[in-house]
Amino acid sequence: MPILFVHAAAVSLAATQAGIERIRKPVAIRHALATDIVDPRAMFFAHDDVDYARIRHAVTSHLHGDESRVILSCSVYNGFASRLENDLGLPVERSDEAGARLVTTRGERIGLAVSYPPSYAVVEARLMEISQEEGRATTLVPLLADNAFAFADDVDRYERVLLAAVADAPEVDAIFLAQYSMDPYAPRISEATRVPVVSALEATLASL
């Protein structure tokens, strides 16, 4: 039974396809690209019923009826995962779930890299929930303030901004790249910082 990945941007789709090719797991996967569900230049996201209707439509319009689960690759919609799961009667996973569970085991001070500002609070809340559930003390250090996702399709510029952000970060025990579009740059970031780097996409794919 295939897994359906729902993407809001072509860069996230491309990163996921490259990651799947890299791990070479015999898993049936389908992709849905719904570029109309997110404004990449927006600095605010309401997370209201209108937004829920938008992601619900994006998911249901691409379901074939044989899926084993749905994975939301767009982190700003992660807060709707449980609601979608209850609504659709189908497992729906957050893009950051596997990575958040992994990175909180890597130390107390976590550098959190989120390239789309409206997603920061969504990822932050889940990281803190997991830390509390597992009795860990976690301090999150924001690594990006700019809306880098607005130019994520400019590969060179996106990489420069990400590398500059982590280079200027205070001392951290690990770095969490919370958005799938960041995954291609994980090796460079690891090399530049010499601390453990957890990619949300890589962690998700490893859990399949």
User: Residue 136 CB: number of other CB atoms within 10 A?
Assistant: 13
Look at residue 207 and give its three-state secondary structure. coil
Residue of 102, 94, 73 lying closest to 181 (CA atoms): 73
Does the structure show a pLDDT above 90 at 178?
yes
- Distance in angstroms (rounded) separating the CA atoms of residues 154 and 148: 10
Cα–Cα distance between 70 and 92 in angstroms, integer? Answer: 5
pLDDT, one tens digit per residue, over 1-45 is 999 999 999 999 999 999 999 988 889 999 999 999 999 888 889
3-state secondary structure of 25: coil
Answering whether pTM is above 0.75, one says: yes
Tokens of 177: 């790249």
Distance CA 42, CA 73 (A): 18
Q: pLDDT, tens digit, for every residue of 34-84?
A: 999 999 888 889 999 999 999 999 999 999 999 999 999 999 999 999 999
**pLDDT value for 11:** 94
Q: If pLDDT is split at 50, 70 and 90, which confidence band does 145 have?
A: confident
For residue 168, is pLDDT > 80? no
